[in-house]
Amino acid sequence: MQWIASIVFTLFMGVWTISFGLVYCVICVFLPWRGRFWMTGILTRPVFFALRVICGLDYTVEGRENLPAGNHVIFMKHSSTWETYGIMILFPPLVWVMKREILWIPFVGWGCLLARCIAIDRKAGTAAVNQVLAQGHDRMEKLGAWVAVFPEGTRMAPGETRKYGSSGTLLAAQEKKFIVPVAHNAGYFWPRRGLLKKRGTIRVIIGPPIAAAGRETRAVNDEVQAWIEAHSGPPAAS
């Protein structure tokens, strides 16, 4: 039954996302950026409602009090599709750093452009870092946006990690902003591959802000990564 529920949910999510994307691309042409971000919540909430009702998968959030005033840089674990929807309702208005290939997806890519996301070529090395620094400054300064970064650069299986990229840390240091680490265990319920969505409750934990300005980049990344990985473990046995 869970497999059937997962297939039904996946079909709903696909149809809803494409349909909403078409409407979003039309309406958002006439909206300021914050209005566009507000509309992304309209995309996410029905998806999460259907996920809870159809698949029995819900979520909780701890540590909202750790979000500092102003706009800062979020480092979030990337292990499933769940968090790509979640960032649209879990945090203050933000833009996210994404691979540029997503821009080529009809409606989804166009919507990301309207949302003022930072699209980079992950193979470009220093050029990609410079894109994040330049566009991140623009979004934070002109829009007052937070910037969300998936520091591993790609989705990782639960329990796995890789060296964190430097662009988010350099951006936080450049703008004299905090890095807010965010851990979750979504990958244990919604794997990065396959259709099955398991029943349960995803736990999201927002950690204490970490200063980046005036510090060595690798030392900051090591601190952020240690916190995120320590809080991204499997769900407790029921």
Q: Over the range 159-187, which residues count as b (16 or more CB within 10 Å of their CB) and which as e?
A: eeeeebbbbbbbbbbbbebbbbbbbbbbb
CB 28 within 8 A of CB 35: yes
Predicted model pTM: 0.92
Q: Is the pLDDT of residue 9 over 70?
A: yes
Q: Is the pLDDT of residue 237 over 70?
A: no
Reported as a single tens digit per residue, the pLDDT across 163-175 is 999 999 999 999 9
Q: Is the pLDDT of residue 238 over 60?
A: no
Q: φ, ψ for residue 46 (rounded to 5)?
A: -65, -35
Q: Is the pLDDT of residue 122 over 80?
A: no
* pLDDT average, residue stretch 97-109: 81
Question: Which range (13-22, 33-42, 74-83, 105-114) has the least confidence?
Answer: 105-114
CB 180 within 8 A of CB 106: no
* pLDDT average, residue stretch 215-220: 96
Instruction: Determine the Cα–Cα distance for residues 199 and 162; give it in Å rounded to an integer.
Output: 28
For 2-230, CATH number out of 3.40.30, 3.40.1130, 3.30.70, 1.10.8 equals: 3.40.1130
* pLDDT average, residue stretch 70-93: 95
3-state helix/strand/coil string of 166-232: CHHHHHHHHCCCEEEEEEECHHHCCCCCCCCCCCEEEEEEECCCEECCCCCHHHHHHHHHHHHHHCC
Instruction: Determine the Cα–Cα distance for residues 237 and 61; give it in Å rounded to an integer.
Output: 19
